[in-house]
Amino acid sequence: MTTAAPFFAALAQRARACNSLLCVGLDPHPDQLPEPSAAAARDYCLRLIAACAPHACAFKPNSAFFEVHGAAGMQALAEVIAAVPAGIPVVLDAKRGDIASTAAAYARAAFDTLGAHAITASPYLGADSIAPFTARADRGVFVLCKTSNPGAGDLQLLPVDGEPLFMQVARRAPAWSQSDNIGLVMGATDVGALAQVRAAAPQLWFLVPGVGAQGGQLAAALHAGLRADGLGVLLTVSRSIAEAKDPAVEAARLQNEINALRKTNAGRAAPAAAGVQALAAALHTSGCVKFGEFTLKSGQQSPIYIDLRRLASFPAALHTVALALLPLLRTLSFDRIAAIPYAALPIGTAVALAGNFSLIYPRREAKAYGTRANIEGEWHPGETAVVLDDLITSGLSKLETIAQLQSAGLVVKDIVVLIDRSNDSAAALAGTGCRLQAAATIRQLLDEWLRAGAVDSSQHANVLRYIAAAPAG
């Protein structure tokens, strides 16, 4: 690898040159070796490198499986890195996390002593723990953001300033480098988080472990993580290649599968499309959308059921919803958001927190005590309120809310919903003089769920037929 090139420029150059986003993990588990020795670990990896080099965008040796063999193991690791053909980046999986001279020593060890081109690191100690790894533009660091292990949510989903901690990492980490040589580690086992971070960080490279043995689905991970240019995802695969009868054949198969999926995503990630993609993933992973046969309140049978009240139990999904609505709201002029009970109340709260908006909500029945208010929150006659709801089908609840707000002296010009599932939403609001905007249509979400494998083609077609047959308004 040419050291003069910025790391991610060199990575992109390699991806294009070999037409691959496959990162081959080099994890010489002791139980996979003929004997537990440094030499056996080295030889194990050298065979994989020779077999997979034509198909690999990068290699990722795991430092732990060499360190366990002591000084001889570290020498073996250096020999493994040196054996990777020139032009192929090596990402050292070491997950370092320390400060000052200790972090600087880790950086020298990884980049100078061992010869790696990038390293994985923990952000828990903050910006100064990452700085030594980003000091050289030709070397990169992948910061742990949302990982693939079962316990990832113990800390990574903790709420911080209205969003999960991993989103704070995604937003802050890029500013920790002056050379744009920071990427993120994003596990394939949480495609909702993957899509959410992609929407927030459209240009970053992601190192994506967890496909295969850990349960991550290749198609879903690529669909959630790919950038508009078909790059931006370094998909790490270790065990399925190493345990294959012919690692070269398995690496080639994975390369071809990845490339076929890249073609289906070509030109996909305009910012608006990325927002819809993140929204679709969040709604699916939180169980807010279900497919089957459901009896609706009207008595009709529906092949799809959307229950956005569940969002209150899923902070990460709720924040994704807020991010999907913010671009619409920021194009409007208003004084208050008026969220319709009940499903839109947690959505309205999340949006108000994310956008620093004032929230009110009309009660379904006026209070018979205290202030006897029928609109909760701070507001004044003559102010403009934008009506916010979870979805629109018949439009009845919107008409009732508009009338309630207007009778109190508020002005309503706009209605914003998360999902437009109506066959003709314009008809539903005819005569109100209000404009309707939706973060996504049901058709857009269905297409995303189909591409991500959440529904099959039969379910997709069945729901579309149901929507087309639904009465207008």
pLDDT digits 0-9 by tens, 289-335: 999 899 877 678 889 999 999 999 988 788 888 878 887 887 888 99
Query: If phi over 0 gives left and psi between -120 and 50 gives alpha, with beta otherwise, what is residue 83?
Result: alpha
422 vs 445, residue with greater confidence: 445
Range of the domain at 441: 274-469
317/268 Cα distance (integer angstroms): 22
260/220 Cα distance (integer angstroms): 13
Question: Looking at the annotation, which residues are catalytic?
Answer: 95
**Residue 431 predicted with pLDDT over 70:** no
Closest by CA position to 120, among listed 138, 94, 139: 94
Structural domain includes residue 202: yes
pLDDT at 394: 64
Residues 307 and 383 reside in one and the same domain: yes
Among 206, 238, 269, the domain boundary falls at 269
Residues 216 and 364 reside in one and the same domain: no
Residues 225 and 299 reside in one and the same domain: no
The helix or strand, by DSSP H or E, that contains position 66, with its residue range, turns out to be helix 64-67
CATH of the domain at 332: 3.40.50.2020
Residues 184 and 287 reside in one and the same domain: no
Residues 201 and 240 reside in one and the same domain: yes
Structural domain includes residue 2: no
Question: What is the total count of domains within the chain?
Answer: 2
Residues 250 and 313 reside in one and the same domain: no
For the segment 214-243, the average pLDDT, to the nearest whole number, is 86
Residues 247 and 281 reside in one and the same domain: no
Residues 22 and 120 reside in one and the same domain: yes
Closest by CA position to 205, among listed 230, 231, 224: 231
Residues 264 and 278 reside in one and the same domain: no
Average pLDDT of the chain to the nearest whole number: 87
pLDDT at 157: 85
**Residue 471 predicted with pLDDT over 70:** no
pTM for the model: 0.63
CATH of the domain at 170: 3.20.20.70
Residues 178 and 307 reside in one and the same domain: no
Residues 261 and 317 reside in one and the same domain: no
pLDDT at 368: 60
Residues 145 and 22 reside in one and the same domain: yes
**Residue 3 predicted with pLDDT over 60:** no
**Residue 78 predicted with pLDDT over 60:** yes
Among 236, 269, 302, the domain boundary falls at 269
What is the bridge-based pairing of β-strands 336-339 and 159-160? unpaired
174 vs 91, residue with greater confidence: 91
Q: Is the distance from CB of 230 to CB of 266 less than 8 angstroms?
A: yes
Among 253, 269, 285, the domain boundary falls at 269
Can you give the length of the chain in residues? 473
